[in-house]
């Protein structure tokens, strides 16, 4: 875990509370709850196309597609799913983690989405 933390710190470049910093923190949280992810993340983060900047771009892409007016928000659960898909990490259904949230065109929340 310490090696992963060093790789993430190097890519975050100390810019605390920036989107890239937050992605790094979420990856550390994922790794803490899923030890199998540590080795995969260490290898993937060494690939330039899989660094924190590219992972953050995936989350921003999702946010841009789901923008309401000038506002957008990505919940930690949705960001977790996006990151797990990007890094091909296993889902943890016991925690309710999903890769792709259910989308509805009506603008209303469907209670079945949560089941």
Q: For the segment 62-115, what is each residue's pLDDT rounded down to a tens digit?
A: 999 998 888 888 998 899 999 999 999 987 655 554 444 434 444 555 566 555
Q: For the segment 9-49, what is each residue's pLDDT rounded down to a tens digit?
A: 999 877 788 999 999 999 999 999 888 899 999 999 999 99
Residue 40: exposure state from Cβ atoms within 10 A (0-12, 13-18, ≥19): middle
Q: Give the list of residues 6+ apart from residue 9 with CB closer than 8 angstroms, or none.
A: 24
Domain that holds residue 93: 2-114
Q: What is the DSSP string of 43-99?
A: HHHTSGGGSHHHHHHHHHHHHHHT-BTTB----HHHHHHHHHHHTTPPP-GGGT--S
State pTM to two decimals: 0.75
Structurally, the chain folds into a number of domains equal to 1
Residue 90: the pLDDT is 82
Confidence bin at 59 (pLDDT 50/70/90): very high
């Amino acid at each position: 875990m310490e090696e992963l933390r060093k790789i993430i710190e190097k890519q975050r470049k100390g810019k605390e509370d920036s989107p890239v910093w937050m992605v790094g923190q979420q990856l550390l949280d994922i790794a803490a709850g899923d030890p199998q992810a540590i080795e995969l993340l260490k290898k993937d983060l060494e690939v330039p196309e899989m660094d924190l900047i590219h992972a953050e771009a995936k989350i921003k892409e999702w946010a841009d597609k789901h923008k309401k007016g000038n506002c957008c928000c990505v919940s930690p659960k949705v960001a977790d799913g996006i990151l797990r898909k990007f890094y091909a990490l296993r889902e943890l259904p016991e925690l309710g983690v999903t890769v792709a949230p259910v989308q509805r065109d009506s603008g209303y929340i469907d209670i079945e989405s949560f089941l």
